[in-house]
Every structure is written in structure tokens, then in C-alpha cells.
Amino acid sequence: MRRALLIRSGRHVHIPIALRPAAILLVLLSLLIILAFAALDLGSTPLPAGELLRWLAPFIDATRETDAVLLLRWPRVAVAILGGAMIAASGHLLQIVSRNGLADPGLLGISQGTMAAVVLGAAVLGIPPQWLAPAGLVGGLATAILVLSLAYRLASTTGLILVGLAVSIVLGALIEIVMVQGGMAQFARWLAWSHGSLTAVSAENARMVAIWALPLIVLTLLVARSATPLLLGREQAAAIGAAPQKLALLLTLLSAALVAPIVAVVGPISFLGLIAAHVARKLVGERPQEALPVSMACGALLLLVADTAGRTLFLPLVVPAGILVSVAGVATFLIAARFTSSRR
């Protein structure tokens, strides 16, 4: 029996809240808030905590230096939190759709598809910056449908990943044609972006991401519950009255939409979705309506920690967040692959 808290209001509204997931989510969110404070505070110019609180308070003006320093930091922190949550949600949805614990937008080539559309759109077609994210969405969605339909008939966990890998190699070559047009400094910047880096995030970017993030995150939380039948497999899901094809298409679209703005701003952060979804499932179990929010919180935490550690721990070196995440991700992937294949 699961312990649950039942919220009643009047005769018709009953909201059962499972206690364990709610408690875990609460802990994760408070950790996230503490870490966000720390991330705003840490950096090559240390700020006294009082100054930070003064900056955050609504009606008191902080000193000009604090303002200047925090203008550089808050977009990074905001994008790390929102981006981490979105990538994690996208990875989790893809794992539900493909019924494959190894799925991740970076590993299925969706991020690369988005990236190719963004790069080619910007460099070849001259699309203005505010339209890059929608262009990326089209690219990512096309790649997602291509990879998932190629691997659809092949019931193999590793097969899907390898198909995604091959598609990303071809897309990577397309991106490379554009990447080498500038000099080496330009190439190094592209290279850092192609692993995911929050160094160049501006306040403008943060606003753009926020505009995409809020409706998408709400939508994800709303559809989470209806994704549950997909966990049973297509035939079973159809048997209990869900429309698996339609649902899978919708969720794939949603997961492509979730990564598009992040890839456009930060670059593909592979493995983040994979790690977050696995941690979340270990913590609260399979049910999407409980696991998805937890995995979003985990993703936000992970990206925030990776970015803050990358820019503070190894000073004067700055390690892009994507690199730290990939290193942690490869290890998680291998362990996850072992357990996923033994379950089948």
C-alpha cells in the first residue's frame, strides 16, 4: 500500500498526493534553491552574502559592482536550471516512447538534428536569431521521427542507440562543413558549443529560454499522467483504450520541442536526460506523473552543479558544463546499459 495524502475540497475535488515522491521532490527543490544561491555567489569575484540578498530583494538597490557581476551570472544560473529541467524531461519522455532506458536526445541524434538546422539556418539561409529555435525544432523533430521509425521494427535496446549514432555522424559532418569556415578561434568556440557550454549565455538568451520553457514544462507535467499506458507496450496500451501511436507522436514532438531552445542557446548536452531519468526512477519508481517532475529537478540540479563546478573549481581554467556532464554520462550509460540489457 502506498502512503498518500488526500487533499479534499468540497465533494468533487480529491487530489491524492503520494508522500514519498512529494517529499523527494521537496528536498530536491530546496537543494536547487540553495545551490542557485551558491552559484550566484561563487565565481572569480566573490560577493558578500549580504550584497546578494540585497540584490535579490525587490525594492533595495544593490551597489553598481554587484549589479554588473550578477548581470553576468544570473542568466547562466537561470538557463542551467531551466535547460537542465527541459533536457531531463525530454530524455525521460523519449525513454517512455521508445521503451528504452538508454534513450537521450543527445544519443538519438535529436540534438544534432536541431543543431544542424540551427547551424545551417544561421550560416546558409541567414535566419534571424529569434527564429533559430523554431527552425531547430523542425530539424530535431524530423531527426527524431527518422531515427525512431528506422529503429521501430528492431526490438533492440542497443540498436536504437547505434542508429541514432549513425544519424548523428552524418549530421555532424554537415555541421562540420559550416564549422570550418571561420578561423581556429571560431572553430574552438563551435567545438565547445557542440559539447554544450553556458559560457556565452546572455540575459537575452535567458529570456528566450524562459519564454519556451514555461508553457512546455507545464504541458509536460499535464501530459505526464496520460503517458503511463505507454509503459505497458503498444498492444497493451491499445488494449486498455489509449491511442499509442498518437500519444507516441505527441510525446516525441514535445521532447523535440523541449530540447530545441536549449540546443540553440547552449548546444546539445548529451547524457543529461539519461542520467536524470535513471536517478529519478531509482528514487520514485516508474510512474511518469511522479518520475517526470523528479527527473526534471534532478536535471536542473545536475546542470547547475556541472556549470558552477566547471567555472569555479579549476580556476583559472573554465571547463564547459557539457564536458563534465559527458564524462559523468558515459559512466552512467555503461552501467545503465548493463542493467537494461539484463532485464530483457
Binding residues for other proteins, rule: CB under 8 A, are 150, 154-156, 158-159, 161-163, 165-167, 169-170, 172-174, 176-177, 179-180, 183-185, 187-189, 191-192, 194-195, 270, 317-320, 322-323, 326-327, 330, 333-335, 337-338, 341-342
- DSSP lists the bridge partners of residue 4 as 18
CB of 238 to other proteins, least distance (A): 22
Instruction: Give whichever of 71 and 162 is closer to other proteins, judged by the CB atom.
Output: 162
Nearest approach, Cβ of 146 to other proteins (angstroms)? 10
CA distance 275 to 192: 21
Shortest distance in whole angstroms from residue 224 CB to other proteins: 30
Closest CB 314 distance from other proteins, rounded Å: 10
Task: Provide, rounded to whole angstroms, the least separation between the CB of residue 292 and other proteins.
Answer: 26
Distance (Å) of CA 152 to CA 39, 148, 167, 234, 295: 42, 6, 15, 12, 25
Least distance CB 87 / other proteins (angstroms): 16
Contact 54, 66 (CB under 8 A): yes
Evaluate whether 291 touches 92 at the Cβ level (below 8 Å): yes
Q: Can you say how many angstroms the Cα of residue 47 is from the centroid of all Cα atoms in its chain? A: 29
Q: Which is nearer to other proteins, 180 or 211 (CB)?
A: 180
Q: Which is nearer to other proteins, 57 or 162 (CB)?
A: 162
Question: What DSSP letter does each residue of 46-58 carry, written as one string?
Answer: ---HHHHHHHHSS
Q: Which three cell numbers stand for residue 313?
A: 573549481
Quote the CA–CA distance of 84 and 259 in Å, as a whole number: 10
The greatest distance separating any two alpha carbons of the chain, rounded to the nearest whole angstrom, comes to 68
Please state the closest distance from residue 61 (CB atom) to other proteins, in A: 37
Nearer to other proteins, 21 or 113 (CB): 113
Please state the closest distance from residue 336 (CB atom) to other proteins, in A: 9
Nearer Cβ to other proteins (21/196): 196
Indicate the burial class of 224 (C-beta count within 10 angstroms; 0-12, 13-18, 19 or more).
buried
Q: How far apart are CA 90 and CA 253, in angstroms?
A: 10
Q: Residue 29 or 318: which CB sits closer to other proteins?
A: 318
177/222 with CB nearer other proteins: 177
| Smaller CB separation from other proteins, 55 or 193 | 193
Q: Which is nearer to other proteins, 163 or 300 (CB)?
A: 163
Q: Hey, what's the cell of 262?
A: 536549449
- Smallest gap, in angstroms, from Cβ of residue 121 to other proteins? 19
> How many Å apart are CA 174 and CA 178, to the nearest integer?
7
What is the 3-state composition of the chain as percent helix, strand, coil, each rounded to the nearest 5? 75, 5, 20
**Helices (H) then strands (E): counts for the chain:** 13, 2
Identify whether the C-beta of residue 232 lies closer than 8 Å to the C-beta of residue 63: no
